[in-house]
Amino acid sequence: MTPKKRRRLAFAVALLAAGVVLAGAIIYELGQNTQYFRSPSDVTAKMVEPGTAFRLGGLVVDKSVHHGAGADVTFSVTDGKGVVPVQYNGVLPALFREGQGIVALGALNGSGAFVATEVLAKHDEKYMPPEVVDALKRSGRWKEGGL
Amino acid sequence: MTGELGQLALCFALALSLVMAVAGLTGARSEAATARAIAHGATMGMLVFVALAFGTLTYAFVTSDFSISGVASNSNTLKPLVYRISGVWGNHEGSMLLWVLVLSLYSGLVAMLGRGGERLTSAALGVQGMLAAAFILFILFTSNPFLRIDPAPFEGAGLNPLLQDPGLAMHPPMLYAGYVGLSASFSYAAAALMVGEEGWARAARPLMLLSWIFLTCGIALGSWWAYYELGWGGFWFWDPVENASLMPWLVATALLHSALATEKSGAFRTWSLLLAIGGFSMSLIGTFLVRSGLTTSVHSFASDPTRGLYILALIFCAIGGALALFAWRAPKLQGGAAFEAVSRETMLLLNNVFLVAACASVFVGTLYPMVLDAMGRDKISVGPPYYVATFAPIFFALLLLVPLGPMLGWRRGNLKEVLRALAPALGLAVIAALVVLLVASPRFLTGALAFAMAGWLIGASLLDVLRRRGARASAFAAALAHAGLGVTLMGVAGTTLWRSEALVVVGPGELMHVGPYTLRFDGVTQRQGSDYRASRAHIALMSGDQVKSVMTPEQRIYPADGQDVSVTAIRTTGFQDLYLALGDNRGDGRWTIRAYVSPLAPFIWLGGLVMGLGGMLSLWGRLRVRATLPATAAQPAE
C-alpha cells in the first residue's frame, strides 16, 4: 500500500466513524427531544405519564378561564370527549379565546393537571391548528366547514 | 385588462423558457453557434416578460384592483402604499411569481456575465430554462395570481398584519435572491457535467457569492424580524421554515469553500459539483416545506395538496435528473488534484465535512416529524434541545478550525508555523474567557467557552488582515466573514446565557424591575392607526426618581383581518437591548407586561451583516479584476 493510499484509507475510516457517531447522536437526541401530540381524551384515558413533555391540543372550554395571582391562569381544554385542566404562568396569545383551538406545550403534574410552559394560538381566527382538527376528528366532533 | 396582460406575459415567458431550454442544451454542442445566440436572446426575452407579469401584478396591488383574486384576498385600500406593494409577495401566488422573477434575473446574469466557455454558458442557460418552464407551469396551473373574481368585491381582505412590517416587506425578496440564486450554481454544475468543462467553478463564482450574500442577509433579517415582531424575545426558533432557509445556507457555505479549492488548486472537482447540486436541492426542498402546507406558520399561506404534489414531482425530477447526470458523467471527469495532509485543502475539506454534518442534523430534525405524519403515524414535534445537542457541537468544532484555513498554504502547509502566527489570537481567546469567568457568575463555563471561541475567530481575522496588509481589498473578504461569525457567536451567547426576563401584571403607577432597569407603568391609551386600532402602553424607564425615556409597546387589532399583533418596544445601547411587549388586559387598568434584558442581542444581526460585507468584498474583487484584465488572465486574490 502506498502512503497516499494508506492516508486515503485512514481518512475514509475516520469519516465513516464520524458519520456513525453523528447518526448515533441524531437518533439518540431525536428520541430525547420528540414531543408527541396528545388529545384531551388520550390524557383522560391515562395514555400519558406525568412528567413527560407533550403537546396538548383542543378547544378552550367556555367559562373555564380564570386569572389567578400575577400572570397565573387556569383553563380547560377539550376535544369533545375528554377535558383536561391546564395551569399556565405567562402571557396568553392575543387570539386566545374561549371556544378557540389552542396547542399547549408542557407536562402533566401528579394530580392530572397539565402544566403548560407555552400556549400557542394561531394567527388567524378562522385557522385551527392541524393537531386540534386531528383531535376533533378522532373524537368524532369534527364537522367539515366549521364547528 | 391588467390581469389578462399579466397572464399573457406569463404565457410568453413560458414559451421563451422552453426555447431557452431547447436552444441552450443544443448550444452545448460546439458547432451550434446559432442555438447559443437563440438561447441568449430567449433568456433576455423571458426576463422581460416575467418582469412585465410581475410589474402588472404590482400595479394591480398598488391600484387596489379587487377584480383580481390575489389582490382581493391579500390587499386592502386602507393599507399604506409600501404594504400594498409588499402584499404582492405576501401570499402564495405572488411569492411564486417572485420566485420565477428571481430565477429569470439570475438567468439574465448568467447570460450577461457569460463567463466560462460559450458551451458552458449555453448549457447552463438550458438548465435554467427547464427550471423556469417548470415553475411558470406551476404558477399557471395551480397558483395563478391573475384569476378574475366576478363580481369584484368593494374591499379586499387585507394582508396578514404580522407581515406588515418594513423588515418583513424586504425579507422574502432578499431570501429568494439568495436561495433561488443557488440555481445558477446548480445550472453551471449540470452544464459542466454535460460539456465536461473544468472552468465552471470560476464561471459560477460571482453568482455563487451574490446568492450567498443575499441568503446570509436574508436569514439575518428574518431572525431580526422574529425577534422584534413575535414578542418572545427569541431570535431563532428552529421552526421548519427557518430551517428551510438555514439548510441551503449551510450547503452554499460549504460550496463557496469547496469551489474555491477547485478553482485554485484543482482539488475536490467532483465534490464541488455535488455540492452545487445539493445547495439548490436544499432550496427546492425548502420551497416544498414552506409552500406545500405541511408546515403551519406565518410563512405558509394557503395549503393545497395539488401544489405540494407538483412541487414534490418537480423536486424529484430536478434533483434526480441532476444526480443521474452526475453519476453518469462525473467518473469521466479528471480526478481532484493531490494535496498534503496539512494544507488549506484539508481545512476546507473539514469545513465541508462539518457543514454538511450540521446540515444533516437540521435536515433530519426538520423532516422526521413530517415523514412520520405523512405515514399516518404519530404527530410529533422536535424541540429546540435536539438542535442544541446536535447542531451546536458540530458548528463549534467547525469554528475551532476556521482560523487555520486562511493561514495555511495551498497543497502543503506548515501547521507549527501557523499556530505560532496565531498565538496572539489564542491569547485573545484566553483573555476573553478569563473576563467572562471574572465578570459573569451564572452560566460561566459555556459563556467562557463561547467568548474564547469568539476571541479566537476575531483575533485570527485581525492577524490575517495584518498579514495581508497592502493587498487588494478583496484579500480581506475571508477575514471579514470569519470575524462576522465571531460577532454573531457573542450575540447568541450573550442573549441565550444572560438574558433576564420579567413577567408581571401591573396597574398604573406601579414599578417593575428587570435586569438593571426600573420601569414605571403609566397606563394604556387607545389610538387609531391607518387600518388598525392600538392599545398603547406607556412605560417610563426610570433613573432614580427621574423619567429617562418613555417606551410604548402596543397591541394592535386589525378589524379587516380580525387579527391582533403585538408591537414590541426595544431600547438598545448597541450592547444591550431592553425589550418590552404588552400582554393581555387583566381588567381594572391592569395589564401583563413581558420584559427582557438581552445582553449583546444586536451582535447577532451585526455579525450577519459583517459576514455579508465579507461576501460583498470578495464579489467586488471578482468583478473588478474581470473589468480590468483580459478574461484568461483574471486571477483574483483570495
Q: Is residue B230 part of a domain?
A: no
How many folded domains does chain B comprise?
2
pLDDT(B248) > 90: yes
Q: How confident is the model at residue B465 (pLDDT cuts 50, 70, 90)?
A: very high
**What is each CA distance from B508 to A72, B520, B588, in whole angstroms?**
20, 8, 10
Mutate to test the interface with B, among A20, A29, A96, A97 (most CBs of B within 10 A): A29
3-state secondary structure of B283: helix
**What is each CA distance from B133 to B17, B43, B461, in whole angstroms?**
5, 12, 44
| CA dihedral (B447, B450, B456, B457) positive or negative | negative
Cross-chain residue pair B378–A130, CB shorter than 8 Å = no
> For B81-130, what is each residue's pLDDT tens digit?
888 888 888 888 888 999 999 999 999 999 998 766 789 999 999 999 99
pLDDT given at position A130: 58
Q: Is residue B110 part of a domain?
A: yes
> For B499-526, what is each residue's pLDDT tens digit?
888 888 899 999 999 989 999 999 999 9
Cross-chain residue pair B379–A36, CB shorter than 8 Å = yes
Q: How confident is the model at residue B632 (pLDDT cuts 50, 70, 90)?
A: very low
**What is each CA distance from B441 to A130, B5, B445, in whole angstroms?**
43, 65, 9
Please state, rounded to an integer, the average pLDDT across all residues of chain B.
87
pLDDT(A6) > 90: no
pLDDT(B589) > 60: yes
Residue B36, class by beta-carbon neighbours within 10 Å (0-12 exposed, 13-18 middle, 19+ buried)?
A: buried
Cβ neighbours of A26 in B, within 8 Å: 360-361, 364-365, 390
| In contact, A117 and A54? CB cutoff 8 Å | no
Nearest to B22 by CA among B180, B138, B132: B132
pLDDT given at position B353: 92
Q: Is residue B253 part of a domain?
A: no
pLDDT given at position B125: 96
Q: Which domain holds residue B34?
A: 1-159
Q: Report, as an integer, the average pLDDT of B418-435.
A: 91
> For B441-462, what is each residue's pLDDT tens digit?
666 788 899 999 999 999 999 9
pLDDT(B379) > 80: no
pLDDT given at position B302: 43
pLDDT(B14) > 80: yes
Minimum mean pLDDT range among A75-89, B103-117, B362-376: B362-376
pLDDT given at position B628: 61
Residues 6+ apart with CB under 8 A from B565: A94, B161, B162, B164, B229, B532, B555, B556, B558
| CATH domain A36-138 topology | OB fold (Dihydrolipoamide Acetyltransferase, E2P) (2.40.50)
Q: Report, as an integer, the average pLDDT of B269-275.
A: 91
Sequence spans of domains, chain A = 1-34, 36-138
Is the model more confident about B61 or about B371?
Answer: B61
Q: Report, as an integer, the average pLDDT of B362-380.
A: 82
The proportion of chain B whose per-residue pLDDT surpasses 90, expressed as a percent, equals: 52
Residues of B engaging A, defined by a Cβ cutoff of 8 Å: 160, 162, 296, 298, 338, 341, 353, 357, 360-361, 364-365, 368-369, 378-383, 385-386, 389-390, 394, 503-505, 555, 562-566, 581, 583-584, 586, 592, 594
Residue with cell 421552526: B239
Q: How far apart are CA B520 and CA B510, in angstroms?
A: 6
Element (H, E) at B224: helix B200-229
pLDDT given at position B299: 44
Q: Report, as an integer, the average pLDDT of B9-30.
A: 94
Residue with cell 453523528: A22
Helices first, then strands: H and E counts in chain B: 20, 11
Question: Nearest CB to A91: which of B364, B390, B592?
Answer: B592
Helices first, then strands: H and E counts in chain A: 3, 7
Q: How far apart are CA B312 and CA B291, in angstroms?
A: 10
